[in-house]
Structure 1
Amino acid sequence: MTQIKKDTSLRKAILQAAVTGKLISTVVEPASAVVEPAETTIETGRQLLDRIIEERNKKLLEETKRNHTDLQISTKSAGKKSDLRSKSQICVTKKELPPITEEEIPFEIPENWCWCRWGELSDSIQYGYNAPAKESGRIKMVRITDIQNGKVEWENVPFCEISDEDVITYKLRKNDILFARTGGTVGKSFLVDEELKDAVFAGYLIRTQYDFEKLNPKYMKLFMESQLYWDQLKNGTIATAQPNCNGQTLSKMIVPLPPLAVQNAIVSKLEQVLPLVDAYENAVLQKELLKGALKDNVKKAILQEAVQGKLVPQIAGEGSAKDLLAEIKKNHTDLQISTKSAGKKSVTKKELPPITEDEIPFEIPENWCWCRLGDLIYNNGQKTPDKKFSYIDIGSIDNINQKLNEKENLILPEKAPSRARKIVKKGDIIYSTVRPYLHNMCIIDKDFSEDPIASTGFAVMSCCDAIYNKFLFYYLLSPTFDNYANDTENAKGVAYPAINDDKLYKGLVPLPPLAEQKRIVAAIEQLLPLCEKLGA
């Protein structure tokens, strides 16, 4: 079934409206209804920014005087490093941030807002604590993987060994914002919205702290969900095998800063609206999932009815499948003398075991019979490519529609993958024996510009003359055979379960007479397009 993702376009649009000043009126009334006229003017974003910077600089100056040192210069006295030097090694240095240029500004904001850089708003941008995770201990250490759906899954958070002094430095506090700085989750953020006991944050996270009497922490967090944030993150991310974004990149991000009263109003509005958006998105997702599940289940039901002889009536004059199977086995016996040389028809030389009553999964019509897959097919052998060829690998198949991709993968013999060995002909069924639940299978139904060769990851099945390849193909897609191929006794392996050819060819097939096979396929191909409309 096609994987369906939640449509978050409405959420993104609302967040965009929030950070551009279009979600609410930019004129926010003071909290008190009885005020003097002079008090009705709220502080602008620029005034707020100036006050944040001024008061932070005042604190830094007081701290400098108190510790007799500068935050950016290590002490050289007695060859020792001061406590503040230790802190400076884990914090992003307060470097002079560049002015914001016109080219950087992506959209207009209200007059009483202002543009600023993240580093101008933050008191600190700090890297996490590096230590091995422990199963038990005194202090928990939050990692990237512990943050799921905007929450910390505390039952999964490990412990770490850490000194009391470092606990003070790395302890998580209410209103801290954590930011994942590396790997596939780079940019994911988390707002600490509760007072925590004995928890620090791990090395692949960055913590940002603010004066939250002057900034609404929820506004800062919503900015980290906006498209503006993600666009800047993408531009500043170092593209390596493990993408990462450092503290300096975060510090230089531009942020639209509204007055505090406007921040509070935006957050209040979003707290009303976003739960409704979540409910709407979940309802749409559930509807799409139900439609997809319905289509998938109806398709399975059609195929299952077909292979049990319930989709079309049996006609006595079409003969018996037992006679048909006897003729097929006689032809197979003649093919046993095949050689291993390329291009020759080949059938398995292993004797297939007789079918027992315990193996039979359901009853079939009287003129049908049970047989094994290996009784009905042969293959065209293998060869090492000696000229330019059209390579069919797993990626060559559209496994939603069970069709070959239109584009051919043409390869010169000297560049042939080691798995390019199996000869295929038009009309053959190819079936991926690796992860068979993905249904990477199709009928070779077109001509190629160069001779096709398939990967050894496929079982290649050419049908005997009395077998309609489309009937066998639909049976291989049916729930009965799907369950057989993916049974843990048959498909070995965890990450990449695979069924080998011997197991595959021992699979049972319910065999109708040839004329009925064709009638069944015609009925299936009438019904499946109707099934597709269920998901429209």
Structure 2
Amino acid sequence: MDTKKLRQKILDLAIHGKLVPQDPNDEPASVLLERIRAEKERLIKEGKIKRSRKTTKTSDDACDKQEVPFEVPSGWVWTIINEVGNIVTGGTPQKDIKEYYGGSIPFYKPNDLEQGINTLTAADHLSILGFEQSRKLPINSVLVTCIGATIGKTGRILKEGTCNQQINAVIHNQSINPLYLYYILVSEYFQHLIRSNASATTLPILNKSNFSKLRIPLPPLAEQQRIAAEIKRWFNLIDIIEQGKADLQITIKQAKNKILELAIHGKLVPQDPNDEPASELLKRINPKAEITCDNGHYYPKLPYSIPYNWVWVPHNNIINIIGGAQPPKSQFREYFSDGYIRLYQIRDYGESPLPVYIPIETATKQTKKGDILLARYGASLGKVFRAEAGAYNVAMAKASVKYFNLIDENYLYFFYLSNIYQEKILSISRTAQAGFNNGDFVTMFFPLPPLTEQRRIAENIEHLFIILKTIEENL
């Protein structure tokens, strides 16, 4: 279930007047709007708020029938956001005056709006002196980021405070339900308005003037309250679904780890006495092979006890870790041509591949399809990929088995997903760019089962992982 789409569908129904029934006894929104305008005029005369340059042009004029984005029910009106509240842009007190900072008054910035409908805290705070230099925002003000990559991010504050200049704040009129206003502003309709009206530059900006003119559908106050309550009820149910989904995803991850743990301990599939023991397999393939020990009971430094027909082998005795190569970007091409080969980078094994090709003669590190690649550093450290045919760059290393028919490639893949490798990787102290190398695995041991058991283990893991993936996709 796509809960994000479900939330937007509920908001879409709400702003179209289809979430709750209309009540003919409700005071029409047009009357409500006239009362809001009268209240605004009073505040302007008292000097409590400034007159907008657009106040002389009513929202009814601005939102004639030809201009409205969609039809709304009888009793509703289209208006501009400036009509339902006072729009202010935040600011930052002088940073060199230390007395302005470090108090208890929230100084809201775009990152604080991640909290959404209940923005309770801010990372930074002002003193009373700093607050006196700032725009004061009362409880229930709705804050919208209007610049940069996070443009449109919205939050409703539950503690009086102020905000910086990246945010436009809507201090709603008392005749507007603040929750309804928040839900309008986070709807896909309004978020699209923000994006489409922002300046078309590398740094999108929606200034206060243009923000104030964005149009919103306004129901009667009583219906606003019913809509807000109904949205909240639905969103609470979705929260429960999402929490259950998150809990199940954690359980699925734990189940995968448990399956891998059972597999490398020899407890996922039964042993077959007819299988050629791993020690004999190893000596047959390499008569000079040194077998450390076949059981952790008798060799203290081995990780744990393994089945009678398995053997512990030093990782580097049977597997080479071969780091990738980084050709100069001047050799990159976006399209394939004769004499070129695909260079795979970590991003190419994710959701946003960006193919590049390099001359074959410079592709010193290559893989065939199905080879195992290990991410070497950074945020991707610990990730394991099944390679495509091509070259691979320095951000990855290839795990290459030294002897033919010793290790099943699928079993090897699952070994690198297991905690033996993953914990080893976490223990390696390297800079972000250095990554690991072959020498880092000198002390790591590899649990080697009989070859036929390796295949049974890999098939069993694949079967169980497919079941778990099906469950996950249907959440």
**TM-score bracket for this pair, using the shorter chain length:** 0.7 to 0.9
1:153–1:100 Cα change, 3 Å = closer
Deviation, 1:391, is 1.3
Which residue of the partner structure matches residue 456 of structure 1? 394
Q: Say whether 1:322 aligns with 2:279.
A: yes
8 Å CA contact retained: 1:140, 1:160: no
CA contact (8 A) 2:371 2:399 kept: yes
Whether contact under 8 Å (2:120, 2:157) holds in the other structure is: no
Shift of residue 108, structure 1, vs aligned partner: 0.8
Structure 2 partner of 1:151? 118
Q: Distance in 2 between matches of 1:520 and 1:395?
A: 30
Counterpart residue number, 2:152: 187
Contact in 2 for aligned 1:137/1:159 (Cα 8 Å): yes
- Tell me how far 1:55 sits from its aligned partner: 5.2
2:347 equivalent to 1:395: yes
Partner Cα separation in structure 2 for residue 396 and residue 138 of structure 1: 47
Q: Given that residues 6 and 285 in structure 1 are in contact (C-alpha distance below 8 angstroms), is that contact kept between their aligned partners in structure 2?
A: no
Helix, strand or coil for the counterpart of 2:62?
coil
* Residue 195 of structure 2 corresponds to residue 234 of structure 1: yes
In 1: Cα distance, 2:322 partner to 2:104 partner: 66
Single out whichever of 17-26 and 462-471 deviates more from structure 2: 17-26
> Does the 8 A contact of 1:432 with 1:458 survive in 2?
yes
Identify the residue that residue 109 of structure 1 maps to in structure 2. 72
Spell out, residue by residue over 1:10-46, the C-alpha distance to the aligned partner (whole angstroms, 9 max, x if none).
433333333223334433537xxxxxxxxxxx4x433
Distance change (3 Å), C-alpha of 1:531 and 1:244: same
Q: 1:330 to 1:242 in 2, by over 3 A?
A: farther
Instruction: Give the match for residue 27 of structure 1.
Output: 23
In structure 2, what is the Cα distance between the partners aligned to 1:384 and 1:128? Answer: 46
Q: What is the rounded CA distance, in whole Å, between the counterparts of 1:527 and 1:102 in structure 2?
A: 58
Q: Which amino acid in 1 is paired with 2:152?
A: G
* Structure 2: gaps spanning 5 or more residues: 291-295, 332-338
Residue 216 (1) aligns with residue 162 (2): no
Change (3 A) 1:10 1:314: closer
- CA drift of 1:327 comes to 5.8
Check conservation: 2:375, 2:395, Cα contact below 8 A.
Answer: yes
- Pair 474,454 (structure 1): closer, same or farther in 2 beyond 3 Å: same
Given the superposition, is the C-alpha separation of residues 204 and 525 from structure 1 closer, same or farther in structure 2, using an over 3 Å criterion? closer
CA change 1:490–1:92 in 2 (3 A) is: farther
Residue aligned with 1:22, SS: coil
Return the letter of the residue paired with 1:307: I
Distance 2:311 2:246 in 1: 38
| In 2, Cα distance between equivalents of 1:296 and 1:441 | 16
Indicate yes or no: 2:269 matched with 1:312: yes
Q: Does residue 234 of structure 2 align to residue 277 of structure 1?
A: yes
1:305: how far off?
1.9
Report how far residue 362 of structure 1 moved.
1.4
Are 2:208 and 1:247 aligned? yes
Aligned to 1:149, the other structure's residue is in SS state helix
For the Cα contact (< 8 Å) 2:144–2:154, is it kept in 1? yes
Aligned with 2:133: secondary structure? helix
Matched, 1:413 2:359: yes
* Equivalent residues of 1:291, 1:534 under 8 A apart: no
Asked if the contact 2:87–2:168 (Cα under 8 Å) also holds between the matched residues in 1, the reply is no
Whether the aligned pair in 2 keeps the contact of 1:125 and 1:207 (CA below 8 Å) is: yes
Correspondence 1:508 to 2:449: no
Residue 49 of structure 1 is matched in structure 2 by 33
Match for residue 310 of structure 2?
368
Deviation readout 1:419-446 (Å, 9 max, x if unpaired): x7522234532111225876542344x6
- 5 Å-filtered alignment, 1:81-120, equals 94=54, 99-100=62-63, 102=65, 104-120=67-83
Identical positions, percent: 23
CA contact (8 A) 2:15 2:184 kept: yes
Secondary structure in structure 2 of the residue aligned to 1:363: coil
Change (3 A) 1:131 1:370: farther
Distance 1:436 1:328 in 2: 38
Counterpart residue type for residue 343 of structure 2: Y
* Residue identity matched to 1:299: K
Deviates more, 1:236-245 or 1:368-377: 236-245
Contact 2:119 / 2:156 at 8 angstroms: preserved in 1? Answer: no
In the other structure, the counterpart of 1:484 is 424
CA distance in 1, matches of 2:164, 2:198: 20
Residue identity in the other structure for 1:16: D
The residue type equivalent to 2:224 in the other structure is I
TM-superposed deviation, 1:393: 1.1
What is the CA deviation profile of residues 50-89 of structure 1, one whole-angstrom value per residue up to 9, with x for unaligned ones?
45445534654575xxxxxxxxxxxxxxxxxxxx9xx98x
Report if the CA contact (8 A) 2:77-2:217 is conserved.
yes
Mark the runs of 5 or more structure 1 residues left unpaired by the alignment. 31-41, 64-83, 334-354, 400-404
Q: Residues 475-531 of structure 1: CA distance to partner in whole angstroms, max 9, x if unpaired?
A: 11223322222x3x21545x8995443224542211123333234334434444344
Shift in alpha-carbon separation, 1:300–1:160, aligned structure 2, 3 A = same
Q: CA deviation at 1:220?
A: 2.5
Residue 181 of structure 2 aligns to a residue whose secondary structure is: helix
User: Given the superposition, is the C-alpha separation of residues 364 and 160 from structure 1 closer, same or farther in structure 2, using an over 3 Å criterion?
Assistant: same
Q: Given residue 20 of structure 1, which amino acid in structure 2 is its aligned partner?
A: H
Could you tell me which residue of structure 1 aligns to residue 293 of structure 2? Answer: none
For residue 267 of structure 1, what is the amino acid of its counterpart? Q
Q: Secondary structure at the match of 1:238?
A: coil
Q: Is residue 347–residue 354 contact of structure 2 (8 Å, CA) maintained in 1?
A: no
TM-score after normalising by structure 2: 0.78
Name the counterpart of 1:126.
Answer: 89
Tell whether the 8 Å contact from 1:181 to 1:205 is kept in structure 2 after alignment.
yes
In the alignment, the residues of structure 2 paired with residue 519 and residue 175 of structure 1 have an alpha-carbon distance, to the nearest angstrom, of: 61
Q: Which of 122, 133, 139 in structure 2 is aligned with 1:166?
A: 133
Query: Larger radius of gyration, structure 1 or 2?
Result: 1
